[in-house]
Structure 1
Amino acid sequence: MTDGLIAPWLSDSRWPTKPIRYVARLGTGHTPSRNVPQYWKDCTIPWITLADVWQLRNGTADTITKTKEKISNLGLANSSAVKHPAGTVILSRTASVGFSAIMGVDMATTQDFATWTCGPDLEPKYLLHALRAMAPDLKRVAAGSTHKTVYMPDIEQLRIPLPPLGEQRRIADYLDTETTRINKLTALQLDIRNKLSERERALRDGLVDNLAALCGELPMRRFVTKIEQGASPQCEAIPRQAADEWGVLKLSAVKQGRFDDRENKRLPEDVAPTPAYEVHRGDLLVTRANTPHLVGDVAVITGNTKRLLLPDLIYRVGLLPEMDAAFVAQVALSSRVRLLVESVARGSSQSMVKLRGEDIKEWPIPVASATQQRTLLTEVERNAETIGRLRAVADRQLSLLDERRQALITAAVTGQFDVTTARQVTPA
């Protein structure tokens, strides 16, 4: 993989570009053996794992000081893990590719991160901004690999523009100020989206509660004919490229009541599909396992799903003919059902919560007639349409703010924008 393929915009830099490893010590991390209990006693060293990436996703946290897990000195000594000094810059290079931050204290990392400890010619904050400018390119390149990984030989080739140290600091200070302003606007838009979601949930809850009070309710088991679980064979990370190819749905195909058939992995040609697992329009899907916040999410399949297969982390719920799958999905999205799902999540000590078919059968469902089911769906869709238009505006604003931040960082680190006078530089 060549530098030009990773970040072609580097060719516009006013300053010479250099491999980062020329001006910073490149490193990575490791995981001490889980099979040796002694390595996991008296753990005091902060240890950055992919479970900490959530802190970095919105690009507003520059420094990481707390981690979900820690490792011990014994584990450190008996593995390839390294304690890096505070000020070291990290980059996630597998699974969640492209997220970066600066270590606020001495820390170790897993092998999922690349690290750079800056030398005298490189300012850590400047490197952080340069890596954030490169993040979309890294994600694009990694998306085509089987394991969604930027491998260390490619990390070694990463280059950045290298202006004088004083200019690096001026760029970093300028970007700190400007991105903080953008982050505040982003937070406002996110708050608007959250309030719209709360409003949508409150309207749905009101409709479901009123219907339950009017006609009573019964456990879901009275309406279920079967609950199926699919399979997840080894698949290619990229989605299927053509309608005649087979794909296996990803867990993210079911999200907050919406079904996205683009979220799938391509089934290799040498793996035979199981026809019984093929999903169809109108199927009710429920996520079987996920994080506590997302387990038990539901959606009804819409659109053309030819040659898409049910994975093992999603249930397909069969219903009696008198029950509309879309109606059941809306009830399942209401607070009364979500509270039941969350009670299952609270009872689990693991980060990955698994929902049993028996748990789903206990969900309360109003005993509504076909007319009552259609009426509720009509009201929910009418409210969703109005809120959806407002959410689309907020999403557009968030997209524009993200584009603005990315363009600003890229222009500043390449010198296309004079941060001293805050003006665009016209090429000679």
Structure 2
Amino acid sequence: MSNGTPYTYPQFPLRRFVHEMTDGPFGSSLTSSHYSDEGARVIRLGNIGSARFKDADAAFIPVSYFRELRRHEVKAGDLLIAGLGDDRHPVGRACIAPDQLGPAIVKADCYRVRLDENRLTHRFAAWALGSSTVSDQVSASTRGSTRSRINLEVAREIRLPVPPVEEQHRIADFLDAETARIDGILNAQKSLQERLSERRTAGVTSAVADTERNNRRSSTLTWLETLPVDWQEVRVGLLARMGSGHTPSRSHPEWWTKCSIPWITTGEVKQVRDDRREDLFETREKISEIGLANSAAEIHPAGTVVLCRTASAGYSAVMGTAMATSQDFVTWTCGPQLDPYYLLWCLRAMRADLLGRLAMGSTHKTIYVPDLQMLRIPLPSLDDQREIVKRIRKQNAGIDRLSDAVRIQSSLLTERRQALITAAVTGQIDVSTASGRGIEE
């Protein structure tokens, strides 16, 4: 629903009901160096969901330091408002501090609010702040180009619908129950999507390893050990010419303007990551022939297999047209014995194994070129390779159709959930007679 949604209940700014409102300590008053393994909880933006406290990703500070920051204290039942948001996490979203929280404070950009609950309850305020009408209002008051931000003064001026307190309790109870039902369905659909993804991966691995023909199958064997006995295991370097990218200097802007050669960088990782797609045709950046000549980079022909070594390490695609790559990728230009799409699906079947054995780094995984030079794959005949690719495409198409249907259902259900919240807090439905029945249909 939009800002045009009519209100049955009168609207008032939040400040009219505020007893206390504070934000978290800024700057050097609270940094990661203050964190400890246990002690008082630090409530961060990631903990504030829309009318739901997210208990994961817990952070703590020593109790002794918590005493110094007592003015930022949070108690069970307090209203928590997010002062910073993005596309997935709206600014102004709010939730209630849980009963089991223990000693806690808010971090910067998180606001702790205590209202006069004889006039505006925390539970109703949290639901109202998550409604579309209030969320749109808050978004219009934000500042920031990449992430939306509101300060304490703006937060105090947020206007909320305020029905009688008895009705606030009824609305909060109704939304607790109805959104729990919807969330149960959404969680089941999420689990189904995960199972479909696992089935897709298992199907690719099975097709490449051809486990139906393998009499040595065993759940204790690794992927390479499940290969059919009549297939050779061959180093990829003997079947395809391997190359690694180079990144030219950015100090020559003429190399990067009005150019025609597609240039694959980490900006293309999202496309490379999409296992539904095999071919990569478009890049956001292009480079000139002069830029390539001055960087030792080269143009790879269409049909070259490209694998990302950093960022989303292990993800791969086939170049749909001639392209050049940055140093974040390696390439294989296949010889006559190797179908590029068969190599692609071998790499995708091996992804978890590649990351487990070869990737280095704890936060940002990197696969090094010398390790990839020793990479080995099973080598059936060229006809068998193409048959395997055909089989993978067919089985994935069926899984993808089902996955798309579940995704559409989840999207519609999420929209209906939001519409229900907005209708309830603005008084467009009477929660004393509404059952919510049919919302998930």
TM-score, reference length from structure 1: 0.71
2:314 matched to which residue of 1? 296
Instruction: Flag the 1:199–1:159 CA change in 2: closer, same or farther, 3 A.
Output: same
Which residue among 315, 326, 338 is the counterpart of 2:329? Answer: 315
Say whether the 8 Å CA contact 2:9–2:161 is kept in structure 1: yes
The answer to whether 1:28 aligns with 2:40 is no
Say whether the 8 Å CA contact 1:284–1:317 is kept in structure 2: yes
Instruction: Flag the 1:227–1:40 CA change in 2: closer, same or farther, 3 A.
Output: same
SS in 2 for 1:402: helix
Q: Aligned letter for 1:257?
A: D
1:328 matched to which residue of 2? 343
Q: Aligned letter for 2:368?
A: R
Deviations 1:204-229 (A, max 9, x none): 11111128434322345554522337
Deviations 1:268-291 (A, max 9, x none): xxxxx977699997564545445x
- 1:41 CA drift (Å): 4.8
Give aligned-pair identity as a percent: 23
For structure 1, the 5+ residue unaligned runs are: 1-6, 234-242, 268-272
2:148 matched to which residue of 1? 149
1:111 matched to which residue of 2? 108
For structure 2, the 5+ residue unaligned runs are: 212-226, 251-259, 437-441
SS in 2 for 1:146: coil
Instruction: Flag the 1:145–1:325 CA change in 2: closer, same or farther, 3 A.
Output: farther
2:89 matched to which residue of 1? 97
Which residue among 369, 373, 378 is the counterpart of 2:385? Answer: 373
Deviations 1:336-358 (A, max 9, x none): 4313313567x75x444344344
Q: Aligned letter for 1:226?
A: G
Deviations 1:54-74 (A, max 9, x none): x95xx7x82344533222356
Q: Aligned letter for 2:179?
A: T
1:340 matched to which residue of 2? 354
Deviations 1:61-93 (A, max 9, x none): 823445332223566578899332222324372
Comparing 98-107 with 397-406, greater Cα deviation is found at 98-107
1:162 matched to which residue of 2? 162
The answer to whether 1:227 aligns with 2:219 is no
The answer to whether 1:85 aligns with 2:75 is yes
Aligned residue pairs: how many? 389
Instruction: Flag the 1:266–1:203 CA change in 2: closer, same or farther, 3 A.
Output: closer
Supply the distance in 2 between the matched residues of 1:220 and 1:369 (Cα, whole angstroms).
Answer: 15
Q: Aligned letter for 1:192?
A: L
Say whether the 8 Å CA contact 1:86–1:107 is kept in structure 2: no
Instruction: Flag the 1:203–1:405 CA change in 2: closer, same or farther, 3 A.
Output: same
Supply the distance in 1 between the matched residues of 2:142 and 2:325 (Cα, whole angstroms).
Answer: 22
Instruction: Flag the 1:42–1:339 CA change in 2: closer, same or farther, 3 A.
Output: closer
1:46 matched to which residue of 2? 41
Q: Aligned letter for 2:315?
A: D
Instruction: Flag the 1:328–1:111 CA change in 2: closer, same or farther, 3 A.
Output: farther
Say whether the 8 Å CA contact 1:231–1:310 is kept in structure 2: no
1:26-425 equivalences under 5 Å are 26-30=21-25, 33=28, 39-41=34-36, 43-49=38-44, 52=46, 56=49, 62-73=52-63, 82-87=72-77, 88-91=79-82, 93-95=84-86, 96-98=88-90, 100-104=94-98, 105=101, 106-120=103-117, 121-134=119-132, 137=136, 146-152=145-151, 155-210=155-210, 212-213=227-228, 214-220=230-236, 222=238, 223=240, 225-228=242-245, 249=267, 251-258=269-276, 284-290=305-311, 295-300=313-318, 315=329, 317-322=331-336, 323-334=338-349, 336-343=350-357, 348=361, 350-422=362-434
Q: Aligned letter for 1:69?
A: A
2:256 matched to which residue of 1? none
2:257 matched to which residue of 1? none
SS in 2 for 1:385: helix
Q: Superposition RMSD on alpha carbons, in Å? A: 4.7
Supply the distance in 2 between the matched residues of 1:127 and 1:232 (Cα, whole angstroms).
Answer: 53
Supply the distance in 2 between the matched residues of 1:195 and 1:207 (Cα, whole angstroms).
Answer: 18
- 1:258 CA drift (Å): 4.1
Supply the distance in 2 between the matched residues of 1:262 and 1:176 (Cα, whole angstroms).
Answer: 47
Say whether the 8 Å CA contact 2:309–2:330 is kept in structure 1: no
Q: Aligned letter for 2:53?
A: T
Say whether the 8 Å CA contact 2:264–2:325 is kept in structure 1: no
Supply the distance in 2 between the matched residues of 1:283 and 1:362 (Cα, whole angstroms).
Answer: 18
Say whether the 8 Å CA contact 1:32–1:76 is kept in structure 2: no
- 1:22 CA drift (Å): 3.9
